[in-house]
Amino acid sequence: MSAVGEKVVVLGKYELGRLLGRGSFAKVYLARELSTGEAVAIKVLDKALVGGDPPMAAQIAREASVMRLVRHPHVVHLREILATKSKIFFVMEFVPGGELFALLAAGRLPEPAARRFFRQLFSAVAFCHSRGVAHRDIKPENLLLSAAGDLKVSDFGLAALPAQRRRDGLLHTRCGTPAYVAPEVLRTKGYDGAAADLWSCGVVLFALLAGFLPFQDENLMNMYRKVFKAEFRVPPWVSPGAARLVRRLLVPDPAARITARELALDPWLADQDEAPPPPPVPVPVPAPVPDLNAFELITAAAAGLDLSGLFEEGGRRRRVYTWRRAAAEVLDRVEAAGRRRELAVKRGGGRIRLEGGEGGLAVTAEVFVAAPLLAVAELRQSAGDLAEFAELCDDLVCAAAAG
């Protein structure tokens, strides 16, 4: 893994290799176990940064607790957690096949392949639910493929444990990705995390079979109306059995939605017309998504949701988030994120200008007040490295999810 003459960094029984990615609080390295040569991924977190942000520290602790609970063949495995005086190390299974999103971006899958992936997804999600864990952000970007082409559920940053339920036994934090989130999560009342996960699984199944999402609209408010009414049309090439299962999953009333027990007995899911694992595919550049204006986001009132998944190129340089916080507090968090990255900060008139960094980053953040405790933060990048902008936004996503 190390070149001749290159300094070797050893962490216990692991040799660290190349950098796979970085965020505001962590870096992820490819590494190998010295005794076996097996590849692993190691997430390295700076204790000083994490300790200075209590919500982020709580989220990391919760994610570690969740991943220890959900050891399953189709869940990315957390092998162990190591620590020094200044760092925390998450040693995880290395999943080299990329995201399921890459396959979907190339078009719909043959039905046997869709069934294979959905069976693996349901197996993992049902196991999580049996342990009291709701994932709350099931989408193709969080479903990875192993070298053998098997599905692995990842990213438990928004997952909920039983302790997060209120006295009514329900969850109340609005979170997830708009196109995949269940209608009950968008409402002000509580929701059952397991039932909401099954809705998201239904959206993934539809996308696997159809090659596109069931709820799409240029106007965000119209898209939510379609979600609330479960207004979608199954394409004619989908078999009757698969179409029936999609319709049983995408039911707006969670009490009438198919349960995990019923899903396990579904005839289409039990069909043994199995497909071979797909070959690895390159990740294509996402297609543009129509632009949305801030007023449409405000009228959607999707508090607590990360809406940045709706914006791709011409939109990867623009990110939008909703917050259940006062506008001043949102600006404080944006400013804190910039200062953590040692960016110059200019603030005034409900806006913040962040400049600096290795790539000459320039970002303007503006906050719109939608209600006394509902604000919409819009970040626009005008210069600098796109990856550095994404890292800054990752910092805010973590803050939003933890807050």
Contacts with 294 (C-beta within 8 Å, 6 or more apart), sequence order: 320, 368, 376, 378
Residue 277 has pLDDT above 70, yes or no: no
Asked if residue 2 is part of any domain, the answer here is no
Asked if residue 280 is part of any domain, the answer here is no
Top pLDDT among 310 and 254 is at: 254
Question: Are 112 and 259 found together in one domain?
Answer: yes
Question: Are 251 and 381 found together in one domain?
Answer: no
Question: Are 222 and 105 found together in one domain?
Answer: yes
Question: Are 84 and 135 found together in one domain?
Answer: no
Question: Are 107 and 206 found together in one domain?
Answer: yes
Question: Are 187 and 265 found together in one domain?
Answer: yes
Classify strands 151-153 and 143-145 as parallel, antiparallel or unpaired.
antiparallel
What is the span of the domain harbouring residue 221?
A: 100-270
Residue 16 CA to residue 10 CA, distance in Å, equals 6
Asked if residue 3 is part of any domain, the answer here is no
Helices and strands, number each (H, E), in the chain: 13, 13
Residue 403 CA to residue 399 CA, distance in Å, equals 6
pLDDT digit string (tens) for 354-394? 888 777 888 888 876 655 556 667 788 888 877 778 777 77
In order of 32, 82, 147, the CA distances from 93 in angstroms are 11, 15, 12
End residue of a domain, out of 235, 270, 305:
270
End residue of a domain, out of 270, 285, 303:
270
Confidence of residue 274 (pLDDT cuts 50, 70, 90): low
pLDDT at 260: 95
Number of independent structural domains in the chain: 3
Residue 352 CA to residue 355 CA, distance in Å, equals 10
Question: Are 150 and 242 found together in one domain?
Answer: yes
pLDDT digit string (tens) for 145-161? 998 899 999 988 889 88
Confidence of residue 283 (pLDDT cuts 50, 70, 90): very low
β-pair partners for 80: 91
User: What's the one-letter identity of residue 164?
Assistant: Q
Asked if residue 277 is part of any domain, the answer here is no
> Exposure pattern of 350-369 as b/e (b: 16+ CB <10 Å)?
eebbbbbbeeebbbebbbbe
Residue 85 CA to residue 91 CA, distance in Å, equals 17
pLDDT digit string (tens) for 323-342? 667 778 888 888 888 888 88
Q: Are 283 and 102 in contact, with CB atoms under 8 Å apart?
A: yes
Determine which helix (DSSP H) or strand (DSSP E) holds 281, and give its type and residue range: none
Question: Are 235 and 140 found together in one domain?
Answer: yes
Question: Are 122 and 89 found together in one domain?
Answer: no
Residue 133 CA to residue 292 CA, distance in Å, equals 33
Q: Are 161 and 228 in contact, with CB atoms under 8 Å apart?
A: no
Question: Are 27 and 118 found together in one domain?
Answer: no
> What CATH number corresponds to the domain at position 381?
3.30.310.80
> What CATH number corresponds to the domain at position 184?
1.10.510.10
SS3 88: strand
Residue owning tokens 């959607």: 300
Question: Are 301 and 252 found together in one domain?
Answer: no
SS3 54: helix
Asked if residue 44 is part of any domain, the answer here is yes
End residue of a domain, out of 255, 270, 285:
270
Question: Are 222 and 118 found together in one domain?
Answer: yes
> What CATH number corresponds to the domain at position 14?
3.30.200.20
Asked if residue 284 is part of any domain, the answer here is no
β-pair partners for 378: 320, 366
Query: Mind telling me the catalytic residues?
Result: 137
